[in-house]
Structure 1
C-alpha cells in the first residue's frame, strides 16, 4: 500500500472541514471566517468527535503561508497613495482609537491578574479592527455610500499601517522583555527607513518591469511573477529582521500602484482564499474549548471592553475631528470588532513564546462574538444617535455644531507652508536614498569588486567612483532642486524673508557635504577624505547640468510609474471623433483658477468657448453629464469635449488665475456664519438670487432656519421672510461687510 504523507492527509482533512462549514455558514448568512475557525476547532486535537489532524507542526507552516498571502492581498487593497489621501479626520479617529484600546487592553489584562507581556499583547490585539468583516457588513446593509462609511474606510487604511508598526514594536519588546525607549525608537526608525527604501525602489523598478514584459505575460505568468515578487520581498524582510508578513504587505502595496493591480488582485484571489482558509482553520485548531470555558469571565469582560471602548474612542475621535455627532456615532458603532490582524498579533505572541497559551483562544473567542454583533451595532447606530440627540442639552448640541463647523473651515495654503513642506519631504526622502546607497556600497559592492575584479586601494577608488555616480543626481536634488519654485520666488521677492531663505539653502548644501563625507569615511582616512571631498564637489559643479538632466529623467520615470493607474484611466477617456475633428481631454482645476467656486451656468463655457464639460471627477466621485448648477471645486478633474482650437482657448481660460490685486493681503478662512433678517431689512421679501448676498460675500447660502424648521441648500428663488436665520459659508471679513447693510444683524 502506498504511504501517504501526513502533510497531505492533514491538508485534505482541513479543506474538507472548511468546505463543509463554508456551505453551512453561507446558508446561515454568517461570516465565513467564523466557519473556518469552528472547522479548525472540530478537527483539532481537543475534539474527539471527528477525525483529527496528525501533525500540528505541519499546519503551522501552512498557516504561515496563509498569513503571507492574506497580507499580500491586503497590501493590494491598501496603496500608500490611499493613505496620503486619507483625510485628517480619519487619521485622528484611527490614532485615538489605537491609543485608547492599547491602554484599555493593557489595564484590562492587569486587572485580570495577567502578566505584563500578556496585557501588552492584549492591547495590541484589541486596537485593530477587521477590514474584511466591516466591508462585508457595509455591503450587506447597503451603507457603503453613506458619509460615515468613507470615514471608516479611511480609519481602516490608517489602522493597517499601525498594525504593521505594532508587529515590529511588539517583536522588539518581546525580544528585549522590557520597555526601552531607545530600542523602540530604533525599531520605528528602522521600519521607516526600510519602508521608504522598498517603496521608492519598488515603484521605480517594478512597474517598468511589468510594462516591458507585458507582451510576454498571460494570466499564468502574471500570477507566477506576482507570487515570486511577493516571496522575494518576504525573504528580504526576514533577512533584515522583520516579519515575513510585513514583506508580503509591502510588495502588495507596491503592486497596488501599477496598472496590473486589478488583474493581480483578481488572479491572487483564489490563492488568497485557499491559504486564508487554511490560516483561519489553523486558528481554530489551536483553540482548546476547556480554556474558553475556564476563561469565560475574562472573555465576557474583554468583549464588553472591545465593544464599548472602540465605539467610544472612535466617536470621541470623530467629535475631536469636527465630524458631528451623527457621523461620529455611526463610525464608532461600525468598528467594534477585532479580526485578521488581531489573530496575527496573537500568533506572533505564541511564536515568540512571550504570551500565555490562554491569550490566543481568548482573542479568538472575543473576535467571534464581536463579529456576530457587528451588523447589529451598525443598525443600532442611528437609533443611538437619535437617543443621544434627544437627551443632550441644547447648549451642548449648539456647541458641537459650532465646533464641527469651525473644525471644517478651509484655510488657504501659505507659501511658507509649501516651501517648508517640500524641504522636509526632500530632506527625508533623499537622506534615506543616499544612506541606502552608501550602505549598499560598503556592505556589498566593495566586497564584490575586491573579490572579483580589483583588490586594495584601487578597488576602493573604483567602488567610491561607482557609488558617487549613483549618488550624484540625489545630491544635486538635495542641495539645489526646488520643487516649489513659484512659492519660493514669491517669498524671495519679500526682502524680509531673504536671510532666512539663504540660511535654509546653506543648511541644504551643508547636509549634502555631510553625505559626501559619510561616503568617503567608509573607505578613506579623514585627511584623505577632505581632499577627495573637495575634488568631488568640483566635479559636481562642473557636471551640474548633466546631473540635473539625469535626475529629471529619474524623477519623470518614478512619477510616471507612481501615477500609471491614473494616467491609464485618463487615457481611456481620450477619444477622437474623426469626422468632426473633436476629442475629449481633461484638465486639473488649480485652487487659484478663475473657475473655482463658479457654476457651469455662470461660466457659460459652451456659449463662450464652444466646448462641453462632459464629466467632473471629484475624489472618488464621478459626476457624469453635470447640470448647469454644478459648481467647480479646487482639485476637480474636468473632461472637456471640443476641437483643438476650442480646447486651447478654454485651456488658457481655465489655467488663468484670479487677479488678487486690490484684494486684502491676508489668507482667507472659510467659515460658517449666520445673519438674522429684521423687519426693516432690505433683504425682506427678496429672493436669494436677487439679494446679491452671493456677490457681496463671495459665499454660499447653505441653510435657512424659519419658524423652527431648517431648509438645507435652499433654492435660489426662495424669498426671505422676517426673522429668517441665514447660514452662509464664506469669508468672515466679507460677511462683516454685509453686516454694514442697514437692519441686517449678524448672529
Structure 2
C-alpha cells in the first residue's frame, strides 16, 4: 500500500527512535539503526513504505546542508592551502582504489565494462560518514578537519568528471570535460560578489531578526546549490561555496547552530533511504563478491591514505585517523551505479554489488570509527566528542 508523505515520515522517525534506543542500550552506532530500519520497513522488507524515492530525494537536502555548514567554518585562505596539499593525495589514492576495485571485480567474472564502473565507484569516500563522525572541534578548528574536507572536495570534482565520462561513453554527453573546472571559480567569484554587495549589507541592516537570518541562510544555501547544478556541478559543491562565501560574516556561527537540527533531520532520511534501496532478495547473488570488495576497501583505503599522507609530512597518527575515517565508499558511488544502469552501461547485478558494498563499508567503517576514534556518537564516554 502506498503511503502519504506524513505517514512515511512518521514511520521513519518513530521507527528510528525505537531502533536507536535499542542501539544505544546495546552500545551500537545509531547510524546502523537508521539503515536497518530502511531495510525492515522498505519495499524489500515488510513493505510499509513501498516507494522510498520521495524520502531519498528529501534526504539529499541533508547532504547539501552538511556541506553548507562546513563552508561556514572554512576560511577561504585556509581552504586554498589545504586543497593544494590534498590534491596530490586525492588523485594518487583514487588511482589505487580504481585499480583495486577493477582487478577484484574481474576476478569474480564480471564484464570489463562492469569492472571499470565498479572501479570508478570505489575511488570515493563518503562525505556523510566521514564528516558526521568527526567531532565539531576537530572539523572546524583543527588541521585534520581541513584536510578531510579538502580530500572530499577533490573527490567530489572527480565524481563529477566520472559522471560526465559515463555520458560520453553512452554517446549522450553534452557537457565538455573541462566545464566543471571552469565553473567552480566562476561560481565562487559570483558568490563572493553577491555576499559582499548584497547579503552582508542586508545582514548588518536586519541582524536583530533571527528568523530573517535563518531564512536568508537557507535561501542562500539552496540558491547556490541550484546554481551549481545548472552549470554542471553538484548541489554539494554549490552549498559548500555558499558557506565559504559567508564564513567571514559575523553571524556565520549563528547560522551554523541554527541549521544543525535541520541537517540532522534530513540525514536520518538519507540513511533510511540507503537501507530501503537494497534488494534483499537478490543479495545472495552478490554476497561473496560484495564482502570481498568491502574488505578490500576497508583495508586498502586506510593503508593508502596513511602512506600518502605521511609522505606529505603528516604525522602517522593523523594519517591513520584520516585513513580509517575515509575507509568506505561514497554516496556518489551509488549515484554512479544508478546513472550507469540507466545508461545501460552496467548490469543490474553489478549495480547491486556497488549498493551492497556501500552498505557493508558504511556499517563496518562506522563501527571502526565509533569504537576507536573520537566522534559525536561514540558509545564510550572517553571517545565521545561533540
User: Does residue 56 of structure 2 align to residue 56 of structure 1?
Assistant: no
Distance 1:167 1:20 in 2: 36
Distance 1:305 1:179 in 2: 32
Residues 182-211 of structure 1: CA deviation (Å, up to 9, x unaligned): 999x42x31122211111121122144333
**Which structure shows the higher strand fraction?**
1
Kept in 2: contact 1:173–1:179 (CA 8 A): no
Distance 1:254 1:117 in 2: 40
Q: Shift of residue 226 of structure 1?
A: 1.5
Query: 1:369 corresponds to which residue?
Result: 364
Query: 2:149 corresponds to which residue?
Result: 157
Query: 1:320 corresponds to which residue?
Result: 311
Q: Shift of residue 275 of structure 1?
A: 1.2
Distance 1:283 1:28 in 2: 22
Structure 2 gap segments, 5+ residues each: 375-386
Q: How many residues align?
A: 363
Q: Shift of residue 171 of structure 1?
A: 1.5
Distance 2:174 2:133 in 1: 40
Distance 1:91 1:103 in 2: 19
Distance 2:267 2:332 in 1: 12
Query: SS state of the match for residue 122, structure 2?
Result: helix
Kept in 1: contact 2:124–2:332 (CA 8 A): no
Distance 1:179 1:153 in 2: 39
What are the residue-to-residue correspondences of 1:153-552 with 2, within 5 Å? 153-177=145-169, 186-187=176-177, 189-214=178-203, 215-217=205-207, 218-323=209-314, 326-327=316-317, 330-331=320-321, 334-335=324-325, 337-338=327-328, 342-351=330-339, 353-354=342-343, 355=346, 356=348, 357-358=351-352, 359-375=354-370
The counterpart of 1:24, out of the listed 16, 19, 22, is 22
Kept in 2: contact 1:40–1:283 (CA 8 A): yes
Structure 1 gap segments, 5+ residues each: 380-747
User: Does residue 105 of structure 2 align to residue 114 of structure 1?
Assistant: no
Kept in 2: contact 1:92–1:318 (CA 8 A): no
In structure 2, the CA distance between the partners of 1:139 and 1:70, relative to structure 1 (3 Å rule), is closer
In structure 2, the CA distance between the partners of 1:277 and 1:176, relative to structure 1 (3 Å rule), is same
Query: SS state of the match for residue 347, structure 1?
Result: helix
Residues 549-571 of structure 1: CA deviation (Å, up to 9, x unaligned): xxxxxxxxxxxxxxxxxxxxxxx
Kept in 2: contact 1:96–1:313 (CA 8 A): no
Query: 2:383 corresponds to which residue?
Result: none
Q: TM-score, normalised by structure 1?
A: 0.44
Kept in 2: contact 1:89–1:151 (CA 8 A): no
Higher relative contact order (Cα pairs below 8 Å, separated by 6+ residues): 2
Kept in 2: contact 1:31–1:133 (CA 8 A): no
Distance 1:245 1:88 in 2: 20
Distance 1:76 1:113 in 2: 46
In structure 2, the CA distance between the partners of 1:312 and 1:136, relative to structure 1 (3 Å rule), is same
Distance 1:360 1:196 in 2: 33
Q: Shift of residue 89 of structure 1?
A: 5.5
In structure 2, the CA distance between the partners of 1:69 and 1:348, relative to structure 1 (3 Å rule), is farther
Query: 1:37 corresponds to which residue?
Result: 35
Residues 663-700 of structure 1: CA deviation (Å, up to 9, x unaligned): xxxxxxxxxxxxxxxxxxxxxxxxxxxxxxxxxxxxxx
Distance 1:87 1:234 in 2: 21
Query: 1:424 corresponds to which residue?
Result: none
Structure with greater Cα Rg: 1
Residues 222-259 of structure 1: CA deviation (Å, up to 9, x unaligned): 12111112222233233333333433333233233433
In structure 2, the CA distance between the partners of 1:77 and 1:46, relative to structure 1 (3 Å rule), is farther
Kept in 2: contact 1:67–1:276 (CA 8 A): yes
Query: SS state of the match for residue 226, structure 1?
Result: helix
Distance 1:29 1:79 in 2: 37
Distance 1:329 1:58 in 2: 38
Q: Shift of residue 322 of structure 1?
A: 4.1
Q: Shift of residue 136 of structure 1?
A: 6.5
Kept in 2: contact 1:93–1:155 (CA 8 A): no
Distance 2:144 2:171 in 1: 32
In structure 2, the CA distance between the partners of 1:377 and 1:208, relative to structure 1 (3 Å rule), is same
Kept in 2: contact 1:316–1:328 (CA 8 A): no
In structure 2, the CA distance between the partners of 1:89 and 1:62, relative to structure 1 (3 Å rule), is closer
Q: Shift of residue 346 of structure 1?
A: 0.9
Kept in 1: contact 2:121–2:337 (CA 8 A): no
- More displaced stretch, 219-228 vs 51-60: 51-60
In structure 2, the CA distance between the partners of 1:251 and 1:138, relative to structure 1 (3 Å rule), is closer
Distance 2:64 2:309 in 1: 33
Distance 1:334 1:57 in 2: 31
Distance 1:152 1:117 in 2: 36
Query: SS state of the match for residue 45, structure 1?
Result: coil
* CA RMSD across the alignment: 3.5
User: Does residue 72 of structure 2 align to residue 76 of structure 1?
Assistant: yes
**Which structure shows the higher helix fraction?**
2
